[in-house]
Amino acid sequence: MSSPLLLIFVVTAFWIFSAVTPDQTGMQKRMTDPVTICTVFPPRVNSLGLWNKSDSWPVHVKDPLGIVHFTFRLQNYSLPILEFEITLIYVVTQLTHLFLKLFGLPVFAAQLLAGLLLGDLGLDRVVRHSSRGFSLNPIFPFANQEVLNIISLSGYTLFTFLFGVKMDVGLVYKTGRKAIYTGALTLIVPLIAATATLLILTFQWSLQADEIVQLLFITSMHCLSPSPVIHCLLTELRILNSELGRLALSSALVSDLSSILLTGVSTLMTVMQRDPDKPLIDLTMMIVFTLFVHYVCRPVMLWMVRKTPEGKSVKDSYILIILLAVFGSGLISHAARLSIVVGPLILGLAVPDGPPLGATLVRKLDFMVNRIFMPVFVTTSMMRVVVQQEVPDGDQTAVRATAIITLVIFLSKFAASLVTPLCCKMPLKHAVTLALVMTSKGVVEIAGYTIARDTWIIVHGVFNYMMFTVVFSAIVVPPLVKLLYDPKIKYAGYQQRNLMNDKPNSDLRILACINRADNTPAIINLLDAACPTRESSITLYVLHLIELVARSMPVFIAHDIHKWDLSNYSYSDNVIRSFTQFMRDNEGAVSVNVFTAVSPPQYMYDDICTLALDKDTSLIILPFHRKWSTSDGSIESENQNVRDLNRRVLKTAPCSVAILVNRGHIRCTNSSAEGYRVAVVFLGGKDDREALTFAKRMVKDACISLTVIHLVDASDHEESHNKWEWVQDNEMLKEVKQKSIGYVSYVEENVQDGTRTTRKIRSLMDDNEYDLFIVGRRYKVKSPQTLGLEDWSEFPELGVIGDMLSSAEFRCKSSVLVIQQQQQRRRWRD
Residue pLDDT, tens place only, 194-239: 989 989 988 888 888 878 888 888 888 888 888 888 888 888 888 8
Burial class (CB in 10 A: 0-12, 13-18, 19+), 188: middle
Assign 3-class secondary structure to 335-372: HCCCCCCHHHHHHHHHCCCCCCHHHHHHHHHHHHHHHH
Residue 664 near residue 507 (C-beta atoms within 8 A): no
Highest mean pLDDT among 37-41, 253-257, 324-328: 324-328
Average pLDDT on 313-332 reads: 87
Q: Output the average pLDDT for the chain.
A: 78
728 CB-near residues (< 8 Å, 6+ apart): 686, 689
**Pairing mode of beta strands 590-599, 555-559:** antiparallel
Q: Report the alpha-carbon distance of residue 614 to residue 654 in Å, rounded.
A: 10
Least confident residue range of 184-188, 511-515, 548-552: 548-552
In 3D space, the residue among 592, 618, 620 whose CA is nearest the CA of residue 605 turns out to be 620
Average pLDDT on 32-57 reads: 54
Q: Report the alpha-carbon distance of residue 604 to residue 620 in Å, rounded.
A: 14
**At residue 656, what are phi and psi to the nearest 5 degrees?**
-70, 155
pLDDT band for 513, please (50, 70, 90 cuts). Answer: very high
Q: Report the alpha-carbon distance of residue 606 to residue 488 in Å, rounded.
A: 8
pLDDT band for 410, please (50, 70, 90 cuts). Answer: very high
Residue 47 near residue 77 (C-beta atoms within 8 A): yes
User: Residue 42: is the preceding peptide bond cis (ω within 30°)?
Assistant: yes
H or E stretch covering 820: strand 815-820
pLDDT at 354 > cutoff 60: yes
Q: pLDDT > 70: what percent of the chain?
A: 76
In 3D space, the residue among 94, 140, 132, 131 whose CA is nearest the CA of residue 113 turns out to be 94
Helix, strand, coil in percent for the chain, rounding step 5: 55, 10, 35
Q: What amino acid is encoded at 69 in this protein?
A: H
Residue 818 near residue 802 (C-beta atoms within 8 A): yes
Residue pLDDT, tens place only, 607-633: 898 898 888 888 999 999 888 776 666
Sign of CA dihedral 74, 75, 79, 83: positive
Q: What amino acid is encoded at 738 in this protein?
A: Q
Residue pLDDT, tens place only, 638-697: 788 899 999 999 988 888 999 998 876 565 444 444 567 888 888 888 888 888 888 888
514 has which bridge partners?
A: 544
Residue 769 near residue 779 (C-beta atoms within 8 A): no
Radius of gyration of the chain (CA): 32
Count of Cβ atoms closer than 10 Å to residue 761 Cβ: 24
pLDDT at 394 > cutoff 90: no
For every residue of 761-784, DSSP letters joined together read HHHHHHHT--SEEEEE--TT---G
Residue 659 near residue 622 (C-beta atoms within 8 A): yes
